[in-house]
Structure 1
Amino acid sequence: MRYRILGTTQALRLDGTAVPVGGARLRALLTVLALRAGRAVPVALLVEEVWDGDPPADAPGALQALVGRLRRTLGADAVESVDGGYRLGAGPDDIDLHRFTRLADDGARALADGDPAKAAALLDDALALWRDPVLADLPDRTAEAARWETLRLDARRARLAAALALGRAEQALPELTALCDAHPLDETLQALRLRALREAGRTAEALAAYDEVRRLLADRLGSDPGPELRSLHTELLHRSAAPAPAPARPPGNLRARLTSFVGRDTDIGTIRGDLATARLVTLLGPGGAGKTRLSQEAAEGAGDTARDGVWLVELAPVDDPAAVPEAVLTAIGARETVLHGAGAEEFRAATERHDDPVERLVEHCARRRMLIVLDNCEHVVEAAARLVAELLERCPRLTVLATSREPLGVPGEV
């Protein structure tokens, strides 16, 4: 049996079907036991929390009867009798609230360890468990719910920090702005918002946001911003004062077109919008429909998505599906990827590992924000899909624009 107490209390069989738990007292008892999963809960504490400080005349007897009802509802082994109290027969991971805690803690550790992609996945799983209002069936939920809401906010902060580390500042800004409006004195959130604005190239907005926070702190708390915000403010001032660099053509291998391209502005805008929010976009259509030209025109203006270049990989000449990774290596100029190793043994191990073209691609792409255009995937679609799936999983800043007569079928494909 699994239990949900983030929201209305529910009991679920392993196949996902719900077991009706009728009656407010019964749900309150299940909530109190689930909060302390795996631990014995004394009778006195159960009575206090289930009856909210107004127990019946024969409180132990009333509790025993309520436990009997819960056992008849969930099964005889669902609630165990222990010395001086009762215990829910479930592990912490069988209860959504405790599973949320584990996933959020693991995500925070991954972020601290420098793995924002893993952190984002764990924190997304944790936050997906949340349902409002938390602990809805706990009679006096105020203090306990506030504690868990604080932990949820911590998880949201960490998730947004992971988004910034993955180069997704623009996408994170709407949620950051809403959270800062709800928690205007939270300096950690405000610092994340300033960073996101800076990374999105909106320095003037970031400076204005800092001034607003400084005034709020002075008016409400009589204090100045902390060291983190002051340091960010200094960086923003330097950036604002620095002369704008001359525009530089990003690296890449797109060839200049010899003819103009008109009449597809709406399509190009749509594709560029998708590339800003999705990591795999596939243009589908029959041969001769103009997918190749459209993909190159859209990719050329991909902007921040392709800070480290747009690289076109022409798969039409590739006959052997096994040669797809080598074709990508050649196109993006990664055959001569430098291997870093301190000693001879480490160097030999790295050399052997990098005989694998996929590993060499991962090393080259992992720290770059680049766009790869895979053109004409249809005749090697399975090999292309396998490669794309692995690269997207292991290279968090990589985006792929593919053209094909059929979808690649990779999760997240648009």
Structure 2
Amino acid sequence: MDLVRYRILGTTQALQSDGTPVPVGGARLRALLTVLALRPGRTVPAAVLVDEVWSEDPPADAPGALQALVGRLRRALGPDAVASVNGGYRLTATRDDVDLHRFERLTDEGVRALADGDPAKAADVLDDALALWQGPPLADLPDRAAEAARWETRRLDAQRTRLTAALALGRPDAALPDLTALCDTHPLDEPLQALRLRALRDTGRTAEALAAYERVRRLLADRLGTTPGPALRTLHAELLRFDQAAPRQGRGELSENPHEPAA
């Protein structure tokens, strides 16, 4: 069987080369594949596999149960998919064969592209990275909270960078719905809030941006007892200057030639 892809950003899946899913039935079997796919090409000691697959409910004969489970996984994926090495097992795959690690590589590439002044490339690469998510990460891992939280943070970083690229490309209208949704979910995330304020400003909604800043300021004070950080305060000052300058510019255009009657 020609397997080229594994998914663990959501329900764990194995895919054939044409994208057809391979049935991997049973929670323990999917948990085992998840643990191995987290470390593709690396030997995972049997004790680690037992601990992560069974968590707080290990079987009485753990080595035997693990061996039987590996046998079932080989029958599902093919005999060469999982190798036995030095008291452990290894998924015979590369990092790029696993969606989680491909997401990480693409995210790093997108961040570098934006830093190098290429927001168009950053947007394309980060779109590909974020499209890999099919649901909560490591969904079939029994004790997933800490590891899953780390990858959710990585996903949020990728979303921020993607939205930064959108603003750099002059697409604030396209970015605003996602920014609003993310700010609602992460109201104390100042970098996200700053991106939203910039998007509102760039769409000519300065008054809304100022009102949004005031809401963030109150929220930080109420929940954390802090004030906005330097980046938000600087942006707020720019918004105030922009808001105050706009009426004067309008009046200046009307009175540029005081001897010419107004239309």
TM-score (norm 2): 0.92
1:133 to 136, 142, 145: 136
Q: 1:244 aligns with which of 224, 244, 249?
A: 249
Quick check: 1:91 aligned with 2:94? yes
2:97 counterpart letter in structure 1? D
TM-fit CA distance, 1:203: 0.7
The CA distance in 2 between the partners of 1:209 and 1:133, in whole Å, is 30
Alignment of 1:272-311 (within 5 A): none
**2:66 paired with 1:76:** no
Name the CA distance, whole Å, in 1 between partners of 2:189 and 2:21: 39
Partners in 2 of 1:200 and 1:138 — Cα distance? 43
Q: Secondary structure at the match of 2:200?
A: helix
Structure holding more helix per residue: 2
Return the offset for 1:14.
Answer: 0.6
For residue 184 of structure 1, what is the amino acid of its counterpart? P
For residue 142 of structure 1, the aligned residue among 142, 145, 157 is: 145
Task: Give matches, 1:212-291, under 5 Å.
Answer: 212-242=215-245, 243-245=248-250, 246=253
What SS does structure 1 have at the residue aligned with 2:249?
coil
- Letter of the structure 1 residue corresponding to residue 77 of structure 2: L
Provide the secondary structure at the position in 2 that maps to 1:86: strand
Q: CA–CA distance in 2 between the matches of 1:69 and 1:170? A: 51
Give 3-state SS (helix, strand or coil) of 1:244's partner.
helix
**Deviation, structure 1 residue 84:** 2.2
Unaligned runs of 5+ in 2: 255-263
Partner of residue 24 from structure 1, selected from 23, 27, 42: 27
Tell me how far apart the structure 2 counterparts of residues 17 and 185 of structure 1 sit (CA, whole Å): 41
Q: Aligned residues, how many?
A: 247
1:211 partnered with 2:214: yes
**Counterpart residue identity of residue 21, structure 1:** V
Higher relative contact order (CA 8 A, sep 6+): 2
Q: Which runs of no fewer than 5 residues in structure 1 stay unpaired?
A: 248-414
Amino acid at match of 1:230: R
Q: Deviations over 1:36-91 (max 9, x none)?
A: 11211111110001111211111011101111111111111100111121110000
CA RMSD in angstroms comes to 1.1
Cα offset, 1:134, TM superposition: 1.8
Question: For 2:170 and 2:131, how far apart are their aligned partners in 1?
Answer: 22
Structure 2 Cα separation of the partners of residues 244 and 163 of structure 1:
29
Cα deviations by residue, 1:354-411 (Å, 9 ceiling, x for unpaired)? xxxxxxxxxxxxxxxxxxxxxxxxxxxxxxxxxxxxxxxxxxxxxxxxxxxxxxxxxx
**Match for residue 118 of structure 1 among 121, 144, 148:** 121
TM-score (norm 1): 0.59
